[in-house]
Chain A
Amino acid sequence: MTNHRIAGSFRDPSGFLFKKEGVVYRQINPSGAVLYDALMGSGLYESLVKANLLIAHEEVDVRLEGAPDAYKVIRPVQLPLISYPYEWSFGQLKAAALLTLTMQKKALEKGMVLRDASAYNVQFHEGRPVFIDTLSFGPYTEGELWVAYQQFCKHFLAPLALMAKVDVSLLQLLRANIDGIPLDLASKLLPFSTKLSPFLLTHLHLHASSTRKYADAAASGGNSPVKPGAGMSKDKMVTWIESLKMGVDALDWTPTGTEWGDYYANTNYTKASHEHKSELVAEFVGKVGAKVVWDLGANTGVFSKIAANQGAKVYSFDIDPAAVERNWRNVVAEKETRILPLLQDLTNPSPAIGWDLDERSSFLDRGPTELAMALALIHHIAISNNVPLQRISKFLQKACKHLIIEFVPKEDSQVRRLLATREDIFPDYHLQGFERAFSEHFRIVEKREIRESVRTLYLLERL
């Protein structure tokens, strides 16, 4: 287990994250002392942590060898998996946006201000968004403007508006733009109707024009009607934040026509086979005793819940933004603290991005997890995406130590449907072929046929 600085943590000179013996710590540099002391001394930390808005931490005596001198080192509450904004559903990004604005408002009440508004400062923990960057707060000076205003619009308002008003898949622009969607791009893509909202008009369209205008003025040295001013009062700052909140609040997206919307209704599962599968999944999860489970192709999280009931924290991945949104809405409605729905296309998983390809980790780099579940998934990858079984096995071996996997044969109505419109070029897609391919990377711990179905459920262990 290597001790190292976390590569994505370099922009803010007031501190950095590091990992030592598997634990994540945050070092506060001497230059960040004033920020940290103001946060702790103002009562802001206490009130935010009490309200579950900011991640709690304790001061520790740990140091990273070879690092510059520390003012302090803190150990925040540990999160088993870090997720990124391009892996969130609309509702999750919106919740993270509202959290960020709430933080700014509460900071102002205590004479502090948010120095940045990056979506990467938010994580989801126990069913709710939580702010994780303890060093984002600084003392507020009367009259100052909000430094993080543009970052907020690029990281939150622009993607939310594009998802709500153009297409939900435009979230993926965040994957291509690590510091948020450029405002002129968002302004260009958004429909005219968004100019009728005073909030979207100001914060996105006029903001894009103003950014362009002053960038041009600065570059050409000129001719700009700039009037020197004294910033904005605190009251104005508060209403400015409120206007951003109204802009965010007005954006909505409701999942309709999902890829898997009627999946459970249309499968060839009988009630008995569904119950049997549920029992087997519970038994296998219990047998592994995993604390963390990745449910791959989780749909709306039906089996994630079964794993959670066995005491696991479950990351519930699906390719479909509508399924993830529904899963998230269930989590919120039921105050579910053990499941986190996330968007993930397994045929093209999140890559490593950013500086030195090391700022944001790839999907696989955030594993392997103790246990993964791939239920009713393999046919979608093998047949819809032509991935050979052996390659699926190789990928899953990198992702997990134990695997619960359901084999869905060609006789199954779902597979017949996939093959109805295309040539069957999959001569090895059968139970023996599956076992042969997976035996290169896993050993079979359990193998059970699912009652009243043609499917088989396996518990595998990585070789």
Chain B
Amino acid sequence: MQNAPLLVVLAIAILLVTPRDAQAYLDPNTGSMMLQMAAAGLLGAVVTLRLYWQKVKDFFTGNKGAAGSDDKS
């Protein structure tokens, strides 16, 4: 059991990233949780840039309110 300390670290990590929502019945999947934590910042920046760029484009093309409108579904 030389991996025991690592196992404990991993178990704590999983507990910490497991959503605190007691009503969760799905297995959130550790890989999916870790990816959200790791990539949310960077991808969020891409999203912000895209939305900003869309606004600039809309300004010049006269297309109003296209960016980020998802409420039509």
**Nearest CB on B from A130, distance (A):** 10
Smallest distance from the beta carbon of B16 to chain A beta carbons, Å? 4
Is A417's CB within 8 Å of the partner chain B? no
Contact B41 A236 (CB under 8 A): yes
Q: Is there contact, CB below 8 Å, between A223 and B6? A: yes
Given contacts A147-B24, A207-B31, A228-B16, contact A240 B36 (CB under 8 A): yes
Contact partner of B23 (CB less than 8 A), chosen from A34, A198, A214, A226, is: A34
Q: Which B residues are CB-close (under 8 A) to A206?
A: 35, 39
B17 in contact with A231 (CB, 8 Å): yes
Cβ–Cβ contact B46 & A243, under 8 A: yes
* Min distance, Cβ B70 to any Cβ of chain A, angstroms: 5
Residues of B within 8 A of A11 (CB): 25
Assuming the contacts A115-B23, A226-B10, A246-B47, asked whether A207 and B32 have C-beta atoms less than 8 A apart, the reply is yes
Q: Which of the 9-residue segments A69-77, A96-104, A341-349, A393-401 touches chain B?
A: A96-104
Nearest CB in chain B to that of A13: its residue: B25
- Taking a contact as CB atoms closer than 8 A, the residue among B7, B23, B39, B50 that contacts A14 in the complex is B23
| Stretch from A148-156, A290-298, A357-365 forming part of the interface with B | A148-156
Cβ-based interface call for A22 (8 A): no
B20 touches A144 (CB 8 A): yes
CA distance A184 to B11 in the complex (A): 24
Q: How large is the interface on B (under 10, 10 to 19, 20 to 34, 35 or more residues)?
A: 35 or more
Partner of A227, one of B13, B43, B47, B70: B13
Chain A-chain B contacts (Cβ-Cβ < 8 Å), number: 153
CB of B46 within 8 A of CB of A146, answer: no
A221 at the interface (CB under 8 A from B): yes
A363–B40 CA distance with the chains assembled, in angstroms: 41
The DSSP consensus for interface residues of chain B is helix
Taking a contact as CB atoms under 8 Å apart, the answer to whether B44 and A243 are in contact is yes
| Binary per-residue interface labels of chain B (13-41) against chain A in the complex, 1 for a CB within 8 Å, 0 otherwise | 11011011101111011111111111111
Q: How far is the CA of A217 from the CA of B11 in the complex (A)?
A: 11
The reply to whether A239 and B26 form a contact with Cβ atoms under 8 Å apart is no
Contact-size category for A: 35 or more
B73 in contact with A102 (CB, 8 Å)? yes
Cβ of A222 under 8 Å from chain B: yes
Name the interface residues of A193-231: CB closer than 8 Å to any CB of B: 198-199, 202, 206-207, 210-215, 217-218, 221-224, 226-231
Return chain A residues, CB-CB under 8 Å to B68.
242
Q: Does any Cβ of B come within 8 Å of A339's Cβ?
A: no
Q: Which residues of chain B have C-beta atoms less than 8 A from A224's C-beta?
A: 6, 10
Instruction: Let me know if A129 is at the binding interface, CB within 8 A.
Output: yes
Q: Is A320 an interface residue (CB 8 A)?
A: no
Chain B residue numbers with a CB within 8 Å of A138 are 21, 23-24
| One of A128, A141, A145, A218 near B28 (C-beta < 8 A) | A145
A-B contact pairs, 15 of them (CB 8 A): A101-B70, A102-B73, A105-B70, A115-B26, A138-B21, A141-B21, A145-B28, A206-B35, A213-B31, A222-B3, A226-B13, A236-B40, A236-B41, A239-B48, A245-B70
